[in-house]
Structure 1
Amino acid sequence: MDYETLLTLQGYTKFFLILVVFILFYSYAFSIYRRDKKGERDFEKYSNLVHDDSSVSAPLEERTSKKDIGNKEK
């Protein structure tokens, strides 16, 4: 391969990698926006963690273990 072909290949590769990263980022941002609007998760609480990070703060979400889930099904 000559030098110009390598540069062209490098340009196309960079373009498609940037395109993939762009699509992944915006799909993730859209999923966060959609979950926030549906009410599945309140991301405002997570942003408040920056200001209120003491060890005596109340947990944001209740956690259940696999044992608890198995006991509910029986």
Structure 2
Amino acid sequence: MKDLIIIFDVFKNLIVFDLSAISKDEWQIFQGYGFFVFVVFLAIVLYAYYFHLYKREKMGERNYEKYAKLALNDDINDSVLESKRSA
């Protein structure tokens, strides 16, 4: 509970640009919790992106096997992966 009060005080001081009121210990606590929240956020985004790719492949909208073979079939005479309409 004490750390939560410190985090809100540091956040309040950051909003009003009173950086001299933040001590080094308070700043380290704020950075530690901020890093943890950031890592959790990135993990959620990564799994959401993975689920998005999995769902699109299962629904048949994309075939990512073709893209995996793109590095192997890199000759000028190879076929185009997707045909796009020109504007």
TM over 0.5, yes or no? Answer: yes
Task: Kindly indicate whether residue 66 of structure 2 is the aligned counterpart of residue 45 of structure 1.
Answer: yes
Specify which structure has the bigger relative contact order, considering alpha-carbon pairs within 8 angstroms and separated by 6 or more residues. 2
Task: Kindly indicate whether residue 58 of structure 2 is the aligned counterpart of residue 56 of structure 1.
Answer: no
Give structure 1 stretches of 5+ with no counterpart: 67-74
Task: Kindly indicate whether residue 26 of structure 2 is the aligned counterpart of residue 12 of structure 1.
Answer: no
> Which of 35, 56, 63 is residue 56 of structure 2 equivalent to?
35
> How many equivalent pairs are there?
66
Paired AA for residue 45 in structure 1: K
Q: Quick check: which has more Rg, 1 or 2? A: 2
SS at match of 2:66: helix
Q: Report the TM-score, using the length of structure 1 for normalisation.
A: 0.80
Structure 1 consecutive aligned stretches of length 4 or more whose deviation exceeds 6 Å: none
Aligned-residue Cα RMSD (Å) equals 1.1
**Identical aligned residues as a percent:** 33
